[in-house]
Each structure stands twice: as structure tokens, then as C-alpha cells.
Structure 1
Amino acid sequence: MHTFLYQASIYLAAAVIAVPIASRLGLGSVLGYLAAGILIGPVLGLVGAETQDLQHFAEFGVVMMLFLIGLELEPRALWAMRHKLIGLGGLQVGASTVALMGAAMLAGLNWQVGLAIGLALSLSSTAIVLQTLSEKGLMQTGGGRATFAVLLTQDIAVIPILALLPLLAISAPVTIATDGSLHREAVDAAGHHEAHLSLVEGLPGWGVTLVTLGSIAAIILAGIYLTRPVFRFIHAANLREMYTALALLIVVGISFLMTLVGLSPALGAFLAGVVLANSEFRHEMESDLNPFKGLLLGLFFITVGAGINYQLFLKSPADLIGLALLVIVIKGLVLYCVGRAFGLNHRNHWLFTLSLAQAGEFGFVLLAFSRQLNLIPIALSEKLLLVIALSMLITPLLFILYDILSKQFSDAKAEIKADKIDEVGPVIIAGIGRFGQIVNRLVRASGFKTIVLDHDMEAIQLMRRFGVKGFLGDPTRPELLKAAGIDTARVLVVALDDPKGSVTLTAYARRINPDLHIIVRARDRNHVYELYRAGADDIVREMFDTSLRAGRYVLENVGLSEYEAAQAEQTFFAHDRQTIRELAQLWVPGTPSSRNPAYVARSKELEKDLEAALMALSEKKEAQDIG
């Protein structure tokens, strides 16, 4: 028992220390787990041969991950994305596999091993890429969406790849029992021989096909007709842990059934996930299985790191780094051609190319599976593990390269010629995002003409498709504002996403037209103070009005009447406007408000005034009720 506790403490401590550090450095959790494994394995020697047994157990985390991926992919959503999945993603996986397979065969490997290597290295790191895209706010760009489509295709492609690898593998060893009968044995990742349970062993080919198809049909039918009654039955017990037990039973049971018919457990788990994607219990299963998936996957990557041949890297670091760069170059060339074929350009094209050029975490899974099948030799497998890990470590440098290239494209984009403005109106709206669109719709629907300015070509084109004319150009440029009639306009609405740009525009407009009424969208209080000093008349803070409305709903549901809640809301609104005006006089640009003693003291006084005002409102209502 003490040995188990010691090992568990080592693995957990390594993960708790290494993963947060890697995340803060922008390297991602996967690289953190790998680094933790390398630290406790090859470097410090705190763990040893037990990592092979743990890795065999932790591979179940991959099965859970594919089940959860299936839960996220509703059949309708998959069908709607079929062109990108089959075209963009399918071409990337296929072309990368062929190119990497060719490189492996040129190195003297046979085509079976070369194909297995090509398949393993063709997949990119979903964990690293998606996390980085989210952190940099690139998910909604054209390149981000194309990258996500390819990653989704790769996740789905793991299923047929796992089914294909056994066909490439060397047959399992056959032994003769003492009674003279033949028995086929299965070899696990640790090299142990264990009896292989099977529903199809000894059956003719047509029997194997029928049993396999019947098992798949049983999974689909059970997912459609059986899970809902079972979940309702569990719900009646009112025991939270039973939901977790049932979710685990579904994944474990399906995986076991797939092994009985000779298929990959991941295939059955993914299929079951897709079938259950429309179930009302989908989110329940996700929340129950996510912790197990995360821990098991983390454990899997730690064992991979602990099993890496560190001495091998020290013997030939230049060769391994060169191979990692070769993989990145080959995949990068394929991605560049695929992106060009599908019309990606400039910034989106480079984001697509550089973000997916590395090998990924599924490569560890496929290599471990290939090694278990005796398809790839142990020495070559260890070398490839290092190549994958190195390519993932290089990924942050690829995103830095993208940032450098992106700045060049943004500079080129700033030189786009602005539209010639041939109209003027009483209302100018600078910025036609979600905020500006609502303002524009209300003003136009009320019968007033607006002049819309925005530097985003896609936003202007979108508005034009809906019959609303807009002009392309930078609203902060004086010549564009003069052409739009800033000298004679009555109202200017500044709805820019850029806080500095909105302050600059407000100050310039106030200087040019002192009689202009300026309405500005503000991000926070500090932004309000800057706009107030720049000359804005009405300042609308993001989330302020919606937050007030939500607060009114809260008051209505804790005992106040609709009238009382509305009165409290109006009192808060009026007090806040007065507070902003007073604190703006005490605000010092460039100094945090918390470090401004006068600001903090007056803020506390005004907060007490608010509490007193709301209390007086409540007492007045009570007096009216008594009277």
C-alpha cells in the first residue's frame, strides 16, 4: 500500500507543479504533463518500470476523450460541416500522411511502418492549438475557423486510424497448449500475456461480420432507446454519485464490447458519443466524465514523458531536432498548399499553416498502440516520441512567427483606400459592431438618416447585404470625418472597439464641432473618465444597463414589487451618474484608482450615500404602507 501511495504522490506532485508553470509560460497543459514525466523519470529517476503498467491503464483517458468529442458532434452539425471536414481536413490528413510516409520510406523503412508513422505524425496538437487560439482571440478569424475544422477532422480520423493499424501489424504470436489446441494470446503494453476474450474467435468471416455489425447496431439502439429510461431511473434515486457511475458504465461497457468483437474501444466510445449528442443528459455526462478524462489523459502524458529515452536525446540532439523541424516543414508545406487551394489568404493563411505544423498528442497514442501491436520497433518508437515532443515544444515559436507576419499584414491592411463619401446626415455612427448596429437600426427605423463609418470590410459588406449603406475607412482619420459632415452633424455615436481610438475621436470631434452631441460607448470606469475629459456628452458603459436590469429582476424575486424594484434601479442609476461626475474630477490618468487616497475616500463616502438613499426609499415605502 505504501508503494502505491508513494507513486501516486510523485505523479500528482509533478503534475501540480509542472502544469501550472507550463500554462503560465503559454506552453499548454500537454507540454506541462510531458515535462513532469521527463522530470520524475529520466531526470530524477523517481519512477521506473511501473510507468508502462500505468500507461496501459491511462490509455482509457483517450477512450473517454473520444466519447466526449462524440458528445459535442451532433449528426446535424457534422453534416453542415461536411465540406470543410472532408475537403479541408481530409485533404490535410491525407496529403500529410502521404508526404511523411514517403519521407519514412526514403529512410529505408517498409511501407507498412512508413504508413503508420505518416498517420501518427499527420495529426496536430488539439490541446495546444485550441488553447493558444483562444488565448490570442483568434478562434473567430477565418484562419481560426479553418484550423478548428482540420483539428475536428483529425480527432474523427483517429477512429479509422485505430481500426487500420491492426491490419498493418504483425500477427500476434500463436502458442500450442498442453492439450495440443491452438490459443491466440494478446500482449499488453507491459509485455505480459493474458487470455483474450472474444465473441468472434472461431467464427467464419460472415459470422464475424454479422456479430460486429450487430454490436454496433446494439450500441446505436441502446443510445437512442435505453439511455433515457435508465437515466430517469437513476434520477429517481436522487444520488449524485449514481450519475457518475452510470456515465462510467456506459463508456467502460461499450469499450469492453468493442474489444470482444475485435474493434477499437475508441471507435465504440466515439460512436456512442455521437448517438447521445442529442440527449438531454448530454451535459450531465460531460460534467461527470470530464474530471476522469482530464486526470487519465494527464497521467497518460506523464507516463509518455517518463518513458522517453532521455539518454537517446543527449546522444544525438541535433538529429532529433532536425527530424522535428523536418516534420514541421513537410506538414507546413502541405498546409500552405491546402490553405491556398481553399482560398485562405494573408494572415488567415499563415495562421492556418503555422498553427497546425506540429505533431500532436494523438501521435503518442498511435505510437503506443503501434508499439503494442509490434508494428513499429521499440527503438524507432522512442525516437519518434522525442520528435513529437520536440515539435510540440517548437509550437510557441511558430505562433511568435505568426505574430511577426501578422503585424506586416495589418500594416498592409491599414493602407486600404477609404470609400469616397458622397452623402451627409445629421447622425454619424463610427463603428458598426453589435453596439453600433442596434443604435443604427433604431435611429433609421425612426426616420432619421445615418452615416455609417467602419474600417472592417466584412462588417460594411454585411450591412450592405441587408440594405444598409456604409462607408469603409478609419473613423479616427480627420479627412474621413470631414467628408462625412462632422462640421454640420448634430449627433456623433462613437461605437469603436478600440478604447484609445474612441478617446481620440471624441477629442477631435469636440474640437472641430463644439455644438456636436457626442455619445460614446465605454469599456469601464477609467475609460469613462477619459471620455468625460475628452468632451463626451453621454457615455454608455458596456454591461451597465443590462446589469441594472438583471439586478432589478433579482429584487423582484426576493420580495420587492415591480414598482419598488424599478424605483431602486432608478435611484442607483441616478446616483451612479453623479458618482461618475464627482470621481472624474479626482481621477489621475496613469494612476490606479486604488492607489489614489482622495479617490478611494470619496468613493467610500458615495457608496454610503447610495446605501442611505436606498434605505430611505425603503422606509418611505413602509411609511406609506402603514399610513
Structure 2
Amino acid sequence: MTHHSLLHDGFLLLGFAMVFVLLFRRLGLGATLGYLVAGAVVGPQVLGLVGEADQKMGIAELGITLLLFLVGLELNPSRLWRMKRDILGLGLLQVTFCGLALAGMIALGTGFSTTAALALGLPLALSSTAQVLPMLQASGRMRTPFGERTFAILLFQDLSIIPLITIIATMSRNPADANGPPGWQLALFTLLAVAGLILAGRYLIRPLFRLIGNLGEREMFIVAALFTVMASAAVMETLGLSTALGAFVAGVMLADSPYRHELEADVEPFRSILLGLFFLTVGMMLNLHAIAERPLFVIAMALALVLVKTLVIFLIGLAFRMTWRGALALGLLLSQGGEFGFVLFAQAQNAYLIAPDAASLFGAIVTVSMATTPFLMALTKPLRKEPAKPQGEREGPAQADQAAAIIVGYGRFGQTVAQMLIASEITVTLVDRDIEMIDIAESFGAKVYFGDGTRLDLLRQAGAEEAQLILFCLDGDQISPDLVEAVHQAFPQAGIYVRAYDRRALIRLKKSPVSRVVRELMESAVKMARLALEDSGVSIDAINRAEDMYRTRDRERLKIQIETGDIRASRDRIITTPISDMPAVATESER
């Protein structure tokens, strides 16, 4: 019966989620709202097709855990250092001032106690990472200075959930919380747990991933990634601490490892599914009757939330010397409530700081505020549009942390390509699956990320959506025309360059949307032949004629082979005997 119920509920939840998410995406409202509405419709208060939301929430909260793990993976030390002013300045001021302003508004407008107003206002200061980041990516602004600042604020917001949970626990009226350990003891346990997790990551987790990478066990890499997240969260839960903090620390301790991109690509599908289930469950748990009794309150508070956050963020942006248009865009983009608000409202309810009806009402307020963002961004677009700058004053593309080129394969061939690009001041991201090669490269100062660069999801994680060049420098015949076509379809702005194993590979790839194909041995073979001829006393003119003769005949033969698809075509163009009676071919210098 349980097995049937699980399949039955899963079928209905996924079916309704698919319909509503597609509909809301089509309307430009985002996937998060689609999940929330789908959960409300399928839940006990509308159609009543699926119940037991409390039980499902235990599984769904893994989505939040995985989200914080991915946030931790973003904390590359060099990127953090470069963004420290925006993270610790913009982020801290935004959460603090928005939280206090909203808490004051709630206290004055509703008559709630100070602790209840803080338990509601501080979570409302957080925006929706799940909604804002896709909007930035869709508009192509993710790697711009504006996008970097937005990401810095969202990053600080995601990190602030840990201290916000601690603040709510400190204000708790729940006797169970009162009987818990004192604050100083919790702080000590937290520091010790974080230190232990970091040591475990360095001396246990990294060697584990290195072993799995050497064995080439693709599915075990996924198992190890999920094990790392859940083990870190379980350690924190055992100590009575935040499981989200454990997952976050797990991400941080692997952020600077060569496995970062592979981990992001592997965990992302699980994060997406479980986070969707989390929003579905929240939708099921919304008290629609309480909301229906006070619809004007929900709408008025949602509009007040958007107005207060926009104004506060606008003023902070001006203080950080943003243009008024940029500050307004930042305020509007972050004006909604976020997914972590639902988590913190549940914490506040468990701490007896707010009633269940208040949690449902403010959950609905967050939902309505999220629905306003796409419309506000569309309506204010003409106002926010920066005036055209004179030629020569346009800003260049953001290079930091977003490479202009992605090189897949860092062997003998890829190393030469990478060094020449870097010497020309083109930033590169290096990806390889050879653990030994990665370790050797690191000892020489090169940062190479572990991962299968022929996977579209991993290329996307590495920044291929904004890269100018994607260069496949892999050994062997690993690049197929289908792969090139898929990469071109996914990242049409990038030129695709392929190291071809042999003539057959080159013929296959010539009809694909590849920018250039290079036979890996041709130029070095021609070079060796020239050196041998020089050492044999052959004149430079004769050597040039021999090279031009070979290249011309090879080019003609290749053209016919591509047209016919027959590797044996035009065999008469192969030079197998001396051709003394052939007319001399003009050298490159004579053309």
C-alpha cells in the first residue's frame, strides 16, 4: 500500500509540476511560482489528490541542503577576494537594513511583538536566488559588473541563513529549545564541527575523489558527491546544528578543487528536482483559507515588501556609486521575497514566535512578491536602459572568473594551445579527466579542473554560454560530428576548434558546424621532413616546392574525400614515387 501511495503521489506531483512550471515559464513568471501553485492545487486544500506534506518536507529539505552545497562550490578564494567589497559591503548592508526596515513595517502595521516582527522581517530581506539567477542568465548579464554585484548580494543572502537561523533559535519560546545547550556551547560546537569538516575534506574527501577519478567510475563520482553532502549535513544534525551549514562547508572545502565543475554538473539535477519538491511541499502546506480571509492584507503587504526593498537597495546602490538606473534595476530585481523565507518561517513557527496562520500568510506574501518581479522588470525596462555611450567608451567584457576560452584536454597538445592563448591575454578555463595530469599541472602553477569536457552540462558549468572559444584538444578520436552539432546548438556564440586524430576524423568533422579542425600530427610531420631535407643538403627552394606539392595534392584529395565520403577516393593524389616530370609548384612566397 505504501509503495502504491509513493508511486501515486510521485506521479501526481511531477505531472502537476510539469504542467504549471511550463505554463509559468511561458508567462515569464519563473519555475518557483509554478511549483508553489502546483503544490497548492494538488494539495489537501484544493483538489486533495496528495497529502502528508509534513512527511514529504523531510525529503524536500534536501533540496535546500544541495542548494547551499552548490553555493559553497561558488566560493573560489580568488573570486571571493575580488568580490569581497560587494559581498561584505553591499550584501551585509542590504540584509541588515532591509531586514530591520521590514521588521519595523510589520511591527507598526500589524501590532506583532518585536520578536515576531524580527522573525518575519529578517527572512523577507532575502531574495529569490532561484528566480533572479535565471533572469540574469537569460538577459546575458550574469558576468557583467551589474551581474557580479547582484550575485554578491545573493551569495551573502544565502550565507546569512545560518546566522538568521541562530537568531531565531536565540529568540525561541519553545521549551524544547530552552532546554538545549547555551549559545556559547553551540558556537563552540559549530567552530569545532566546521574545522573537523574542513580537515575531513582535505585528508579524506579529496583523496576519495582522486581515487574515483583514476578508476574512471562515472556513477561512483555522483554517489561520492551526494555522500559528501549528506555526511556533512548529518554530522551537523547529530550535534544539533544547522544541516544547511554542513552542506555549505562541504561545498567550500571542494570549491578550489579540480573537481568543482564535475561536482556542479553531477549535483545540479538532484538539486533541481529536490528544490522543486520543496516548493511543491510549501505550496501544499499553505493555509489557503487563512489567505482567503485576508486577501487585501496579503496583496498590501506584498506591495509594501517590494516597495521597501526596492527603495532601500536603491539607496545602498547609490551609496556604492552605482548610476541611478543601475541602482534602480538592482532594487527591482531583488525586491521579492525568497525561497529561504519559507525555511525561516517554519523555524520561527517551531520556535513559537509566530502562529501557523501567520507563516501561511507571509508565505503567500512572498509568493505574490515573486510574481511581481518579471512584470516590474519588463515595465521599467525603458526607464532603466542606460543611454548609449560614445564610441570608444564602451565597457569591455568582464574577464574575471569568466574565461574567454575553454580548453578541453590539457595534454601535450592542449598545453601548447593554452600557453599561446594566455600569452595573447586571452583568459582560459582548463578541463581534463586525467587526475595525474591535473596534479602535475598544478605543481607547475596551472589550474586544471577535473571533468568530462564533452558533456554539455559540464561545459555550461564551466561558463560555455559566454565563452568565445571552445577548443577540444583531446587525445584519440573522441569528438564526433554529433557532439560538435550539440555544442554548437547549446553555445552558438562560441567558435569550436577540434584536434582531429587522423584524416578520417577530419573528413567526418568537416561537414559539422566546426570553426576549424587541425590534424594533430600534420604540421609536426611536415616540420620533421623539412629538417631532414635541410640536413641532407637540399636547397630551400626545392624544400618549399616539395612542401607546396604535398599540401596542394593533399588539399585536393581531402576535398574529393569530403564530397564523396570515401576515404579511398583520389588515391592517385598520394605521392608514392618521385614525380620528376611534374611542373614546379609555386611556393607560398611566390604567390
TM-score computed with the length of structure 1 as normaliser: 0.64
Residue 159 of structure 1: CA displacement? Answer: 2.0
CA distance in 2, matches of 1:332, 1:246: 42
Decide whether the 8 Å contact of 1:143 with 1:351 is kept in 2. no
SS class of match (1:8):
helix
What's the counterpart of residue 112 of structure 1? 115
Decide whether the 8 Å contact of 1:42 with 1:309 is kept in 2. no
Residue 211 of structure 1: CA displacement? Answer: 4.5
Decide whether the 8 Å contact of 1:144 with 1:348 is kept in 2. no
What's the counterpart of residue 132 of structure 1? 135
Residue 405 of structure 1: CA displacement? Answer: 1.0
CA distance in 2, matches of 1:364, 1:568: 70
What's the counterpart of residue 365 of structure 2? 387
The superposition leaves residues 144-173 of structure 1 with CA deviations (integer Å, 9 ceiling, x where unpaired) of 332222112111112221222211212334
The answer on 1:30 being equivalent to 2:45 is no
Q: 1:87 is matched with which residue: 89, 94, 97? A: 89
Structure 1 residues 438-449: aligned runs within 5 Å: none
The superposition leaves residues 232-251 of structure 1 with CA deviations (integer Å, 9 ceiling, x where unpaired) of 34446554332222222222
What's the counterpart of residue 290 of structure 1? 268
The one-letter code of the counterpart of 1:119 is L
CA distance in 1, matches of 2:263, 2:142: 26
SS class of match (2:366):
helix
The answer on 1:619 being equivalent to 2:565 is no
Structure number with larger C-alpha Rg: 1
SS class of match (2:361):
helix
Q: Aligned in 2, Cα 1:565/1:398: closer, same or farther, shift over 3 Å?
A: farther
The answer on 1:246 being equivalent to 2:224 is yes
CA distance in 2, matches of 1:365, 1:626: 80
What's the counterpart of residue 2 of structure 1? 4
Q: Aligned in 2, Cα 1:572/1:625: closer, same or farther, shift over 3 Å?
A: closer
SS class of match (1:343):
coil
Residue 42 of structure 1: CA displacement? Answer: 5.8
What's the counterpart of residue 286 of structure 2? 308
What's the counterpart of residue 317 of structure 1? 295
Residue 339 of structure 1: CA displacement? Answer: 1.0
Residue 22 of structure 1: CA displacement? Answer: 2.2
What's the counterpart of residue 78 of structure 2? 76
The answer on 1:354 being equivalent to 2:332 is yes
SS class of match (1:350):
helix
TM-score computed with the length of structure 2 as normaliser: 0.68
The one-letter code of the counterpart of 1:152 is L
Structure 1 residues 422-437: aligned runs within 5 Å: none
Residue 141 of structure 1: CA displacement? Answer: 4.2
SS class of match (1:278):
coil
The answer on 1:101 being equivalent to 2:53 is no
Residue 559 of structure 1: CA displacement? Answer: 13
Q: 2:163 is matched with which residue: 150, 160, 163? A: 160
CA distance in 2, matches of 1:312, 1:25: 27
The answer on 1:147 being equivalent to 2:150 is yes
Q: Aligned in 2, Cα 1:209/1:129: closer, same or farther, shift over 3 Å?
A: closer
- State the identity as a percent: 36
Residue 48 of structure 1: CA displacement? Answer: 4.5
The one-letter code of the counterpart of 1:253 is A
Decide whether the 8 Å contact of 2:557 with 2:571 is kept in 1. no
What's the counterpart of residue 231 of structure 1? 209
Structure 1 residues 582-621: aligned runs within 5 Å: 611=563, 618-621=570-573
The superposition leaves residues 458-496 of structure 1 with CA deviations (integer Å, 9 ceiling, x where unpaired) of 469x9xxxxxxxxxxxxxxxxxxxxxxxxxxxxxxxxxx
The superposition leaves residues 260-288 of structure 1 with CA deviations (integer Å, 9 ceiling, x where unpaired) of 22211111221221122112233333233
CA distance in 1, matches of 2:131, 2:78: 27
The one-letter code of the counterpart of 2:26 is R
CA distance in 1, matches of 2:74, 2:306: 29
Decide whether the 8 Å contact of 1:143 with 1:344 is kept in 2. no
Decide whether the 8 Å contact of 1:143 with 1:349 is kept in 2. no
CA distance in 1, matches of 2:91, 2:238: 32
CA distance in 1, matches of 2:122, 2:494: 48
SS class of match (2:36):
helix
Decide whether the 8 Å contact of 2:287 with 2:357 is kept in 1. no
Gaps of 5+ in 1: 175-182, 185-200, 419-453, 463-522, 524-540, 576-607
The answer on 1:338 being equivalent to 2:287 is no
CA distance in 2, matches of 1:163, 1:565: 74
Q: Aligned in 2, Cα 1:104/1:76: closer, same or farther, shift over 3 Å?
A: same
Q: Aligned in 2, Cα 1:551/1:83: closer, same or farther, shift over 3 Å?
A: closer
Structure 1 residues 272-287: aligned runs within 5 Å: 272-287=250-265
CA distance in 1, matches of 2:228, 2:275: 19
Q: Aligned in 2, Cα 1:281/1:173: closer, same or farther, shift over 3 Å?
A: same
SS class of match (2:380):
helix
CA distance in 1, matches of 2:127, 2:554: 52
SS class of match (1:59):
helix
The one-letter code of the counterpart of 2:162 is I
Decide whether the 8 Å contact of 1:125 with 1:360 is kept in 2. yes
The one-letter code of the counterpart of 2:14 is L
CA distance in 2, matches of 1:83, 1:569: 58
CA distance in 2, matches of 1:115, 1:568: 79
Q: Aligned in 2, Cα 1:61/1:67: closer, same or farther, shift over 3 Å?
A: same
SS class of match (2:43):
helix
CA distance in 2, matches of 1:289, 1:72: 13
What's the counterpart of residue 486 of structure 1? none
SS class of match (2:322):
coil
Residue 406 of structure 1: CA displacement? Answer: 3.1
Q: 2:237 is matched with which residue: 259, 268, 287? A: 259
Structure 1 stretch displaced more, 306-315 or 91-100: 306-315
Residue 70 of structure 1: CA displacement? Answer: 0.4
CA distance in 2, matches of 1:115, 1:571: 77
What's the counterpart of residue 449 of structure 2? none
The superposition leaves residues 540-571 of structure 1 with CA deviations (integer Å, 9 ceiling, x where unpaired) of x9877968896654544799977899769977
Structure 1 stretch displaced more, 327-336 or 43-52: 43-52
Q: Aligned-pair RMSD on alpha carbons?
A: 3.8
Gaps of 5+ in 2: 400-467, 469-491, 499-509, 527-546, 580-591
The answer on 1:213 being equivalent to 2:191 is yes
Decide whether the 8 Å contact of 2:553 with 2:573 is kept in 1. no
Decide whether the 8 Å contact of 1:571 with 1:614 is kept in 2. no
The superposition leaves residues 202-223 of structure 1 with CA deviations (integer Å, 9 ceiling, x where unpaired) of 8x98876655433222111111
The answer on 1:327 being equivalent to 2:329 is no
The one-letter code of the counterpart of 2:160 is A
What's the counterpart of residue 434 of structure 2? none
Residue 363 of structure 1: CA displacement? Answer: 1.1
